[in-house]
């Protein structure tokens, strides 16, 4: 007897969830339209700092002073060329003892590098490629964008489940199918767009800092060779490797004047 009222209340709650995520449209560093606003920048910085603290508590850190100095040098040279709003942060860098060739950057100015990255990043320019790419995610507001899109996807899925229940369809079945669709058709394609954008922003950043943008091609050739025995995890959300190499090579040619200007201005990194 009260079922219709419950259904209406549930539907209203679902609409409320969708409306509760205050979003806004902004423009990324490459001119791409982004939907953000799921979380504020201070909240995002706090989340990044908390996750970084967890990682430091869980994973061993290198005791090799040369590795720490090497990575810190590359990060420092890159950070000096960031847009002004990102330079007031105190960037923290940690080198983790982990054989997986990986690196990451988090909101709140946190950079993590695995010792395994030295297998594929064989000089300072190749290491700068990796780190600049990861910093590119942060300064392009990708974390906020991902959170906002995930919130919207989750809200839309809840609404679909409520509508299914009202139509007599099993809402759990809708949840399973809807979750798969949201992941593959909504979240992952966005991640590929972000990866391409981080390539662009990162390669520009490394050139401004005086690192050779042509070495981005070498780095990804090394990454592909390292993952040839098995499909690398990053391929699931990254652009096609061969297409990526072509884009990096073409962009490097256009960035040579930027690189040469940086070198002429005295930006000549001596990290490793």
With contact defined as beta carbons under 8 Å apart, do 203 and 251 qualify? yes
With contact defined as beta carbons under 8 Å apart, do 23 and 39 qualify? no
Q: What is the three-state SS of the chain?
A: CCHHHHHHHHHHHHHHHHHHCCCEEEECCCCCEEEECCCCHHHHHHHHHHHHHHHHHHCCECCCHHHHHHHHHHHHHHHCCCCHHHHCCCCEEEEECCCCCCEEEECCCEEEEEHHHHHCCCCHHHHHHHHHHHHHHHHCCHHHHHHHHHHHHHHHHHHHHHHHHHCCCCHHHHHHHHHHHHHHHHHHHHHHHHHHHHHHHHHHHHHHCCCCCCHHHHHHHHHHHHCCCCCCHHHHCCCCHHHHHHHHHHHHHHHHHHHHHHHHCCCCCCCC
With contact defined as beta carbons under 8 Å apart, do 129 and 206 qualify? yes
Please say if 226 is a catalytic residue: no
Length of the chain: 272
- Kindly name the residue from 126, 134, 145, 195 that is annotated as catalytic: 134
The residues annotated with a catalytic role in the active site are: 134
């Amino acid at each position: 007897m009260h079922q219709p009222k419950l259904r209406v209340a549930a539907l209203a709650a679902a609409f409320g969830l969708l409306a509760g995520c205050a979003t806004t449209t902004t423009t990324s560093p490459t001119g791409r339209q982004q939907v953000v606003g799921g979380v504020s920048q201070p909240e995002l910085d706090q989340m990044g700092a908390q996750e970084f603290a967890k990682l430091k508590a869980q994973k061993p850190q290198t005791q090799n002073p040369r590795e720490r100095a090497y990575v810190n040098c590359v990060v420092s040279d890159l950070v000096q060329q960031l847009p002004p709003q990102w330079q007031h942060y105190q960037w923290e860098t940690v080198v983790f003892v982990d054989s997986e060739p990986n690196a990451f950057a988090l909101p709140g100015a946190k950079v993590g590098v695995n010792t395994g990255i030295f297998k594929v990043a064989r000089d300072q320019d190749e290491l700068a490629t990796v780190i600049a790419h990861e910093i590119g995610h942060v300064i392009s507001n990708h974390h906020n964008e991902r959170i906002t899109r995930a919130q919207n996807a989750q809200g839309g899925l809840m609404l679909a489940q409520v509508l299914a229940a009202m139509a007599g369809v099993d809402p759990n079945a809708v949840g399973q199918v809807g979750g798969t669709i949201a992941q593959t058709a909504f979240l992952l394609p966005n991640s590929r767009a972000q990866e391409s954008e981080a390539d662009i922003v990162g390669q520009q950043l490394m050139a401004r800092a005086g690192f050779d943008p042509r070495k981005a091609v070498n780095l990804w050739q090394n990454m592909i060779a390292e993952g040839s025995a098995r499909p690398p995890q990053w391929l699931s959300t990254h652009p096609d490797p061969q297409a990526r190499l072509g884009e990096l090579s073409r962009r490097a040619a256009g960035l040579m004047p930027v690189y040469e200007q940086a070198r002429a201005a005295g930006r000549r990194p001596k990290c490793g």
